[in-house]
């Protein structure tokens, strides 16, 4: 797991994760390793924001760990050119609606983990074309 906020040696696009839950982190890391995609992992959203560079990145966020005052800041990530995908429990309908209003992609946790290999490979391939 790469902890620096820069591209990996091959120049692959950044994948940045804000997830504190160790079980979810390990699942994301296992999928990324299988896909040969490096991750920059942060335990919380504020650390992630502090370390972001101007290089567009794929940002994966556990929305269930996000504090309500940070939700409007998600739009800043989009404006900076980052792709933001948030995941949450399927019962957090109100939070999903609020986050979608910022322009971020939102999906239930089960769908996120099901689609994670595809999301990571799609992002890696998009960077290879540049």
Helix (H, G, I), strand (E, B) or coil at 61: strand
Smallest CA-to-CA distance from 82 within 5, 21, 30, 11 is with 5
Dump pLDDT digits (tens) for 59-102: 999 999 999 899 989 999 999 999 999 999 999 999 999 999 99
Antiparallel, parallel or unpaired: β 14-18 and 57-62: parallel
Write the class of the CATH domain 14-128: alpha beta
Quick check: 32 and 19 in contact, CB under 8 A? no
Dump pLDDT digits (tens) for 9-66: 445 568 999 999 999 999 999 999 998 899 999 998 888 888 888 788 899 999 999 9
Note the pTM of the prediction, 2 decimals.
0.86
Helix (H, G, I), strand (E, B) or coil at 15: strand
């Amino acid at each position: 797991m790469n902890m620096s906020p820069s591209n990996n040696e091959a120049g692959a696009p950044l994948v940045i994760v804000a997830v504190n839950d160790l079980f979810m982190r390990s699942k994301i890391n296992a999928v990324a390793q299988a896909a040969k995609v490096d991750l920059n992992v942060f335990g919380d959203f504020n650390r992630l924001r502090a370390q972001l560079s101007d290089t567009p990145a794929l940002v994966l966020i556990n929305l269930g760990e996000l504090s309500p005052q940070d939700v409007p800041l998600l739009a800043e990530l989009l404006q900076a050119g980052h792709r933001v995908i948030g995941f949450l429990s399927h019962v957090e309908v109100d939070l999903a609606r609020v986050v979608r209003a910022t322009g971020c992609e939102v999906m239930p946790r089960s769908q996120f983990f099901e689609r994670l290999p595809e999301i990571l490979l799609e992002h890696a391939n998009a960077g290879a074309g540049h």
